[in-house]
Amino acid sequence: MVTTDASQVRVDVHLTPDTLAAALAADVRAGLGAAPKELPPKWFYDDRGSELFDAITRLPEYYPTRAERAVLMARAGTIAAETRADTLVELGSGTSEKTRLLLDALTEAGSLRRFSPFDVSEATLRGAAAAISDEYGVTVHAVVGDFERHLDRLPTGGRRLVAFLGGTIGNLAPPARAAFLAELAEGLGPDDAFLLGTDLVKDRDRLEAAYDDDAGVTAAFNRNVLHVINDALAADFVPERFDHVARWDPDAAWIEMRLRSREAHRVQIDGIGMTVGFGAGEEVRTEISAKFTRPRVEQELGAVGLTVREWWTDPAGDFGVSLATPS
């Protein structure tokens, strides 16, 4: 489906509220019917969840956003010079300050012609699309989609810089990550480049604090998925009956967030005609956030035919940004 707002802005919608609701229903039915129980992290982000994530990025404990911003502030000029991209494709979040660092650098380099934000939220994209089109005077081709399903809908042609920032790739389990990277690489031409942000392995205390802050914002973010299910599927979760848990798993090299039921109880999910029983202390896994090393990133990108041309970190070495091209 294509709608044109103005000559400069195009929004392709591959995810409607109906398809989203059906996908949530399927994920809830499968995830809460499984043992152990699981809910995919993509459902955190309704309006309230997006606000909570925004608040997380400003917490003293949550270093990834600041660390990645520091890298991009230092390196955006180099990224623009090396890629001379005419199109910036951004997977996930089209309004951030980080996007603007890249847009500014590509404008200064004189190569920018088109911005293509890709996100699940049509409202977010429409707002970002209009603002960026006005401010930068570039064509905006926005795509509303799920990056695990609609990567083949990205605009093609020209020299594209595809950015996947924030460490969001860490939310994919290894098989899904390999599939995502393979599909992404498959769609890249010889003149395209891939800019990837990855949070890095570090000591347990800092990692667990980043996902279990003193102010309780991450706990509220984690519980928000239950509010989302209540709203969308007429469920009667009482989110306060669940404790927030964040654990570093050094073997898997990921942080796991879970919701732990404080007591045995049942929840009714009328929208899908499901009753779910929780035991005392039973946990639902709500997110993995994988942490990387440079060799790991080089290996995973290499496995899909991408060569890492640049590897940068913030001065403390907390967060990695890599620039890769088809080999």
Is residue 198 within 8 A of residue 325, CB to CB? The reply is no
Nearer Cβ to ligand AVJ (80/117): 117
CA dihedral 164, 168, 169, 171 (to 10 degrees): -160
CA dist 324 and 81 (Å) reads 14
Residue 43 touches ligand AVJ, criterion: CB under 6 A: no
Residue 40 touches ligand AVJ, criterion: CB under 6 A: no
Nearer Cβ to ligand AVJ (38/192): 38
Q: Which of 117, 145, 167, 320 binds ligand AVJ (CB under 6 A)?
A: 167
Give the residue at shortest CB distance from ligand AVJ: 289
Beta carbon of residue 272, minimum distance to ligand AVJ (angstroms, whole number): 25
- Of the listed pieces 74-82, 161-169, 186-194, 232-240, which binds ligand AVJ according to CB under 6 A? 161-169
Footprint of ligand AVJ on 168-187 (CB under 6 A): 168, 170-171
Beta carbon of residue 222, minimum distance to ligand AVJ (angstroms, whole number): 7
Nearer Cβ to ligand AVJ (133/322): 322
Footprint of ligand AVJ on 127-146 (CB under 6 A): none
One character per residue 261-300, x = contact with ligand AVJ (rule: CB under 6 A): --------------------------x-x-----------
Nearer Cβ to ligand AVJ (54/135): 54
How many residues bind to ligand AVJ according to rule CB under 6 A? 12
Q: Which of 40, 145, 166, 320 binds ligand AVJ (CB under 6 A)?
A: 166
CA dist 86 and 243 (Å) reads 47
Footprint of ligand AVJ on 47-66 (CB under 6 A): 56, 64
Residue 119 touches ligand AVJ, criterion: CB under 6 A: no
Nearer Cβ to ligand AVJ (80/255): 255
Residues binding ligand AVJ (CB under 6 A): 56, 64, 166-168, 170-171, 211, 218, 221, 287, 289
